[in-house]
Amino acid sequence: MPEFIPLISEQKIHEQVKKIGNRICSDYKTRDLVLLGVLKGSFIFLADLTRQISIDHTIDFIGASSYKGTSSTGQIVFTKQPDLELENKDVLLVEDIVDTGQTLLKIIEFITLLNPRSIKICTLIDKHERRDIKIDVDYSCFSLDKGFIVGYGLDYNEKYRNLPAIYDLKL
Ligand code: IMP
Ligand code: MG
């Protein structure tokens, strides 16, 4: 049976999302902000984050998938393209977790072709151990050295996204 070790509480998540939302509000006041959620893992984070951002902004999603089980396949598959026009927009990519950085690299390469004014990165979790790409995370709610976590949108083989807090998964 898998074991779920509590790591980050609902309360802590709420506090951090609120803080990051406030920072985004002041940084993007004179900008044309699009929150671009990376499906599927970011859907709960994005739903909470958008409600902490009081300035006008739009929301879209891009689908990218690379994981099978607890290790990346290395191959990124785009499962959904953005619908909105991103030219001259200030795109803020919203991720659940940045691990190796490969997924974001591919997404940034793709979004760049659409000529946005700016591209920045906002992640719920910045996980360091396996980072192999030099990538600047602009907004991060939590830092993690290593481990495999689930809950609050994060999955293991598509399960456990529904857990309201974040847990270390021991298989
Ligand atoms: P990267 O391309 O290695 O940065 O992988 C990023 C993607 O891998 C994230 O968007 C997640 O979907 C998935 N991922 C990486 N680490 C974890 C984890 O600890 N739990 C759940 N999913 C993870
Ligand atoms: Mg993801």
Looking at ligand 1, which residue's alpha carbon is closest to its atom 3?
100
- Residue at token pair 């949108």: 153
Structure tokens belonging to residue 45: 């984070």
pLDDT at 76: 86
∠ CA 150-151-156, rounded to 5° = 40
Q: What is the side-by-side order of every strand in the sheet holding 3-8?
A: 3-8, 166-170, 149-150
Q: What is the pTM of this model?
A: 0.95
Low-confidence ranges of the chain (pLDDT < 50): none
Structure tokens belonging to residue 143: 């830092």
Beta bridge partners of 98: 126
> Are 53 and 107 within 8 A, CB to CB?
no
Query: What are 43-60's pLDDT values in tens digits?
Result: 999 999 999 999 999 999
pLDDT at 75: 80
Q: How far is the CA of 56 from the centre of ligand 2 (A)?
A: 25
Q: Is the CB of 90 under 6 A from ligand 1?
A: no
Beta bridge partners of 149: 168
Query: What are 144-155's pLDDT values in tens digits?
Result: 999 999 999 999
Which of 7, 79, 96 to probe ligand 1 with, by most ligand atoms within 8 A of CB?
96
pLDDT at 20: 98
The residue annotated as part of the active site, out of 90, 96, 99, 126, is 99
Mapped onto helix, strand or coil, the DSSP state of residue 62 is strand
Q: Is the CB of 166 under 6 A from ligand 1?
A: no
